[in-house]
Chain A
Amino acid sequence: MSQAMAPTVRRQNVRQNHLQKKLYIWGGLALLLILAAFFSDYLCPYDPYVQDMSMTKAAPSAEHLLGTDRYGRDMLSRVIAGSKTSIYATLLLVSFITIFGSLVGIICAWTGKWLDTVLMRLSDMFLAFPGLVFALAVAAVLGGGVHNAIFALAAISWPKYARLARSQTLAQQAAVYMQAARMAGSSNFKLIRKHVIPNIAGPILVTAMLDIGTMMMELAGLSFLGLGAKPPVPEWGSMMSDTRNLLPTQPWVTLAPGFAIFISVMIFNLLGDTVRDYLDPKNRR
């Protein structure tokens, strides 16, 4: 049932090749999603903003594959156009918290003393708030809009990266090679750039990749509550909340953006899992 498998070289090779293949597949799909979001203006069969009052609440048909909403706007076009807001906002958010959090973490580990204490206590404060609760309040104070929603979620999620980067940097600092590099006359900046960052990038990257899906769902959640993108800008979360009273009669209108979130999150989660396995030293040749 649970005997440890002997990690023979051959078995590891097979596993590594398999992982590489998965990495290409999920990475390719994720890239496709990002490109689709980028070129969404050209991909939409109709203008996502144009209202056609003769075609309101139409069922899916050959003309309108996902039907139309209550203003006669083509749902497929709106879902495609929504990818731009949803996917780019998520990627922006994740890159921001990854870079900002990691920098704080590295600075804490490097300088130590009071700055470390102050910043870490500050991150404890943010971590004391459960999940979306604090983000809700921040977004409420800032008053909606995609940028404010990004800021609200960034405010609650940077501490995770700061702690990770801090502990990873501390581990690197203790390593013998670091002392050697320091004795060879490397400046602090060079030590961080040449030795710390390349060595701690792996775990941080994995955390960031696995966070993309979660962040996409939380952004959509804030938009759903009216604290993210504002209509008529197409965004998946706000589209669902906008059309939720159509659920009994035209469920496709409400559910289509939901499936879009579901599929995108799934692809990014699969990519994240694969990157994690790929970078795991246990699977290395």
Chain B
Amino acid sequence: MNYAIRRFLQLIPILFGITFLSFLLMYLAGSDAVTEMYSNRGVEVAQEIIDERKAALGLNLPFFQQYLNWLGAMLQGNMGISYVTGEDVLTAFMRKLPATLLLTGSAVAVTVLISLPCGILAAVRHDRLVDLLLRFGSFLGNAMPNFFVAMLLMEFLGIQLGILPVIASGTDIESAIMPTLTLAIAMSAKYLRQVRSAVLEELNKEYVQGARARGVSANVILWKNVMKAAMLTIMTLLALSIGSLLGGTAIIESIFMWDGVGKLAVDAINMRDYPLIQAYVMWMAIIYVFVNLTADLLYHYFDPRIRLGGSAK
């Protein structure tokens, strides 16, 4: 439990860093936020009114003062309003978040369903035909940018075969299949390799040879010993790869018109809607940090070598 507390304390500077960088970005970009806001609404206003608005919003205070004001407001859940729609940024973000979490969750599920069995199979059949084929497949997948995979799926599943809608018509299952597959294919290609090498490493340990020499069946060794030991690494790696998934959703959501935070962010970028971009960057980073923390804590909790043995690594 000491470890958990230490990890939480380590998190504090990181969270400050995230808010600071998010604020800095916005500060550098939106030093002229007020002008931007008026021009986005299509109104022409006098310079005095702009200056007055800036003073009212505290935009002419020193940098750190502005940061602290912003941080205080942010902690009370006030991240500003969208330049374009005038909606509260946090509300807009939270409204779209479930769709993205759904997409991320299903992509992770499909990834596990593909790469876990395939990775184990490749490790057990090390250097045989199946292994070579799977490695080749993962190699191909690794060299494809996700928007290219998206286009290929659209072309073959959507247009040639016509079995799936090319553009999402909402957040229903049918619309979710192609974006999920796109994300899962890219992620499986990486993850399959990691599963394979984690299992392979465990299989090469001496206790496996010992068990085999004593006549323990290959299945028992694999499922009862090897998988139990390799599973921890496998789960941790999965949590770590969620980071690239969260970034990848932005492109995929805007290709398939999936109505999540990624599409929201890309639209916001095109409209130069800085408060929305800021909220997106900050919250994605916070989610990512907590996913990593959870993975780390689970790892420590479930690994008996660490839980019982103290600092032994």
A residues sitting closer than 8 Å to B (CB atoms) are 1-4, 121-122, 124-126, 128-141, 213, 217, 220-221, 224-227, 237, 240-241, 244, 247-248, 251, 254-255, 258, 261-262, 265-266, 269
Contact = CB atoms under 8 A, between A and B. Distances in A.
Nearest to A4: B204
A132 B155 contact: no
B203 A137 contact: no
A216 B151 CA distance: 18
Nearest to A214: B142
Q: Would you call the interface of chain B mostly helix, strand, loop, or mixed?
A: helix
Contacts, number: 157
Given A2-B208, A269-B143, A128 B14 contact: yes
A137 B281 contact: yes
B147 A133 contact: no
Interface in B244-302: 244, 246-248, 250-251, 254-255, 265-266, 268-270, 272, 274, 277-278, 280-281, 284-285, 288-289
A240 B289 CA distance: 33
7 contacts: A2-B209, A130-B246, A131-B244, A133-B285, A224-B147, A241-B147, A258-B147
Contacts of A138: 25
Contacts of B250: 132-133, 136, 225
Interface of B: 13-14, 17-18, 20-22, 25-26, 28-29, 124, 126, 139-140, 142-148, 151-152, 154-155, 159, 166, 200, 203-204, 208-209, 218, 242-244, 246-248, 250-251, 254-255, 265-266, 268-270, 272, 274, 277-278, 280-281, 284-285, 288-289
A136 B265 contact: yes
A248 B285 contact: no
In order of increasing CB-CB distance, the 7 nearest A-B pairs are A131-B247, A125-B17, A132-B247, A130-B243, A141-B29, A258-B148, A217-B145
A133 B284 contact: yes
Contacts of A139: 269
Q: Would you call the interface of chain A mostly helix, strand, loop, or mixed?
A: helix
Contacts of A135: 247
Contacts of A217: 144-145
B208 to A, nearest CB: 7
B165 to A, nearest CB: 13
A217 B203 CA distance: 34
B281 A227 contact: no
A124 B14 contact: yes
B266 A225 contact: yes
Q: Which of A122, A130, A244 has the most CB of B within 10 A?
A: A130
Contacts of B266: 136, 225
A238 to B, nearest CB: 11
Contact of A1 (B22, B124, B251): B124
B70 to A, nearest CB: 16
A214 to B, nearest CB: 9
Contacts of A251: 155, 159
Nearest to B14: A128
Contact of A128 (B18, B29, B143, B155): B18
A137 B151 contact: no
Contacts of B265: 136
Nearest to A267: B143
A165 to B, nearest CB: 21
A128 B145 contact: no
Q: Which of B203, B246, B269 has the most CB of A within 10 A?
A: B269
